[in-house]
Amino acid sequence: MASPQALVDDTEDVSLDFGNEEELALRKAKIRHPLATFFHLFFRVSAIVTYVCCDWFSRSFVGCFVTVLLLLSFDFWSVKNVTGRLLVGLRWWNQIDEDGKSHWIFEARKVSPGHTAATEAEARIFWLGLVICPVIWVVFFFSTLFSLRLKWLALVIAGVSLQAANLYGYILCKMGGDSDLSRVAASLLSQTVFQTVSAEV
């Protein structure tokens, strides 16, 4: 398996010289990508709220299941392809070559003078949303298991898998993705996700 590719991660270097520290702190706290910040949290929070409240608003299991699954899918795609790139300047993906081998690729955007860098507030929102929501889905997994609501188990497993995959990919991306441990863990994760998806299909 080829080594993951990584670029230099200097996306947090937003310490431009503005003349005084108060002005610099204000620029770091500013939200420069409000739409991306909104959608970073919107789909994942909507999936959680819909899962918790769907029994109150609808008796259709299939309708609730499909709605939550669509929200989780939208969240996975938007975080992986849009909000991670805009809010923290990181991007990752996994591709399969012609021999069937899995390759994880990690990129970090270089900050150029003419490019609008992510701010500390955006980075904090990104990482908090990325970490807290998978923890909530893990709690849902155990509560579903112990309350014997087994018909929801497949949906909760999908929620854990999709959100954990994004979290794992961005953690490796932040670390540079160049350690042997990262490659072994990435291989195990990709095999687990593919086996889970195959079993559900």
Check residue 184 and give its pLDDT. Answer: 45
Check residue 32 and give its pLDDT. Answer: 77
Evaluate if residue 138 carries a pLDDT over 50: yes
Q: Is the pTM of this model over 0.75?
A: no
Please state the rounded mean pLDDT for residues 107-135. Answer: 77
**Tens digit of pLDDT for each residue in 20-62?**
554 444 455 567 778 888 989 999 999 999 999 987 877 888 9
**How far is the C-alpha of 150 from the C-alpha of 156, rounded, in Å?**
10
Q: Give me the sign of the Cα torsion angle 46, 51, 52, 54.
A: positive
**Of 88 and 140, the one with more pLDDT:** 140
Specify whether the CB–CB gap between 61 and 151 falls below 8 A.
yes
Check residue 30 and give its pLDDT. Answer: 67
Check residue 75 and give its pLDDT. Answer: 94
Indicate the pLDDT class of residue 68, thresholds 50, 70 and 90: very high
**How far is the C-alpha of 125 from the C-alpha of 132, rounded, in Å?**
11
Domain ranges of the chain: 21-200
Proportion of the chain above pLDDT 90, given as a percent = 32
CA distances from 157 to 18, 94, 125, 152 (A): 48, 20, 25, 9
Specify whether the CB–CB gap between 50 and 127 falls below 8 A.
no
Check residue 10 and give its pLDDT. Answer: 44
Indicate the pLDDT class of residue 201, thresholds 50, 70 and 90: very low
**How far is the C-alpha of 120 from the C-alpha of 32, rounded, in Å?**
10
**Of 95 and 182, the one with more pLDDT:** 95
